[in-house]
Homo-oligomer: A and B are copies of this chain.
Amino acid sequence: MEITCQLNPAADQPLYEQLYRHIASEIGRGRIPRDARLPSRRALSRHLRVSESTVSAAYGLLQDEGYIRPQEKRGFFVNAVQPLPEGGPAPQPIAQPAAGPAPRFDFSTSATDASLFPHRAWMRLMRETLHHRPDLLQRGDPQGDWPLRAALSDFLYQYRALRAGPERIVIGAGADYLLGVLLQLLPEGSVVAAEDPGYHGLYRACGRQRLSVLSLPVDEAGMSSARLRDSRANICYVMPSHQFPLGLSMPAGRRSELLRWAGEQPGRLIIEDDYDSEFRHQSRPLPALQGMIHDAPVAYIGTFSRSLAPSMRLAYMVLPDALLARHRQGLYKTGETVSRFEQHTLARFIAESHYTRHLRRAGNAYAARLQRLLAQLSDIPGASVSGEQAGLHFLLTIPQLSEQALVDRAAAAGIPLHGLSEYCRQAKAKPSTVVMGFAGLRDDQIDEAVAALRAAWGV
């Protein structure tokens, strides 16, 4: 029997490796039959014009892996290896799929302003952490490293009035990831009440866990505790700081009512997604629901993706006792999901007050941008805005046009926008309303961006 193949001395793989792969593939495909005798090392080396040691190395690998067996003084014989279907060709290099055209102006609600990122301080702390803490290469605490949890606990008490000792805090790679972990901890058969309009990701996360979701309408103060009480939900998911997409802040009275509801029956829980709580333009942030009473039946989720950068996969949750105990049980044990170097960099970033300084600086910049944008929009006849007291987006209503016309005409001018109704399930969206994120817009683009929108809309 003859073995013929193209060996390429210029390739990355050594010749013996190429030869080994060829023969293994021939055996695997049944082209060299069971019990066939392979050519002697010498014969094959002459035939292929390679050294005998190349053939020896290839045969050695084939023997190691059970493709062939030696027989004393007779050479190598092919073992029984079930033939496999024909293999396809090696994968062809694939070009990166082309991204769509960049928007002319970015009014999305997911961008932030990269120029505000505290680059120098972050770099210095990251460098020091990488240099001085080789111990951080080993496994860390699955709940997150203690120094970060301690720094967060202090920060959350000072700035969000949270009652969150480090022992209740769980660090994870993004708010979506932590929401998934949290939903896994809920008792089977739980029913989740969602704000309508609200965050679509909640429906997906519940769907992946096979949990039922009810959409409850949001009134001017947020989710209604009366509607909650009438429903069969035992869990409610709310964004009290700056509801997405409506931009509402839930007033103190409504917060108390929700806490009442949750306290009325065991097994009830509020999931407080503290979305967009970091920037408040007209007064200070309201304290979190979680801290309003002792042992609140609240699981709190926060993230750094709005306040630092969307690509920082750094979020945290604060669990009440029952869920904390469940999270520590064997079933829920998983490894940590955030690099320890990033955890310790962030811990120092918070503890050494870089974070609060950054929030102040970025907050001022975003507030100024918002003011300028609102001023440019203010003389559109009939236009109104809402949800602009806090956060990085607001709603804009232009009653002259339908929502669809607002979105379509903006798109035609190269400006992608989302209509409010895209975030509704059963609720009826306020008509003629679009969602305007402004964190990704540069200051020097505002005048031009508004002029382009007004031209497109003819207002």
Contacts and interface: CB of A to CB of B under 8 A. Distances in A.
Interface stretch (A248-256, A270-278, A418-426, A445-453): A248-256
A383 interface: no
The interface centre, meaning the residue of A65, A167, A184 with most chain B CB atoms within 10 A of its CB, is A65
B332 A66 contact: no
Contacts of A282: 64
A273 to B, nearest CB: 14
Interface string A118-136: 0100110011001100111
Given A135-B114, A256-B28, A339-B342, A204 B173 contact: no
A110 B173 CA distance: 21
Contacts of A81: 252-253, 256
Contacts of A251: 65-66
A208 interface: yes
B332 A204 contact: yes
Interface in A292-315: 292-295, 309-313
A40 interface: no
A88 B153 contact: no
A75 interface: no
Interface string A257-291: 10110010000000000000000001110110000
Q: Count copies of this chain in the complex.
A: 2
A117 B137 contact: yes
Kindly name the residue among A86, A146, A208 whose own CB sees the greatest number of chain B CB atoms within 10 A.
A208
B173 A173 contact: yes
A177 B115 CA distance: 32
Nearest to A167: B94
A459 to B, nearest CB: 30
A331 B294 contact: no
A393 interface: no
A137 B158 contact: no
A294 B321 CA distance: 50
A336 interface: yes
Contact of A311 (B65, B87, B137, B207): B137
Contacts of A310: 137-139
Contacts of A256: 28, 81-84
Contacts of A138: 111-112, 114, 309-311, 440
Nearest to A284: B61
Interface in A318-334: 330-334
B252 A91 contact: no
Nearest to A12: B158
Given A130-B123, A138-B111, A176-B334, A253 B311 contact: no
A456 to B, nearest CB: 25
A229 interface: no
A454 interface: no
A163 B90 CA distance: 7
B64 A283 contact: yes
Contacts of A428: none
A24 interface: yes
A297 to B, nearest CB: 11
A341 interface: yes
Contact of A263 (B85, B259, B292): B85
Contacts of A294: 85-88
A43 interface: no
A28 to B, nearest CB: 6
Nearest to A84: B293
A311 B112 contact: no
A60 B124 CA distance: 40
Contacts of A67: 252
A17 B284 contact: yes
A114 B91 contact: no
Shortest beta-carbon contacts, A-B, top 6: A88-B294, A66-B251, A173-B337, A137-B309, A173-B173, A311-B340
24 contacts: A28-B292, A66-B251, A66-B252, A80-B253, A83-B256, A84-B292, A85-B263, A85-B293, A86-B294, A87-B292, A88-B294, A114-B135, A137-B309, A137-B312, A138-B309, A138-B311, A174-B335, A177-B177, A177-B337, A204-B334, A313-B336, A313-B337, A313-B339, A339-B339
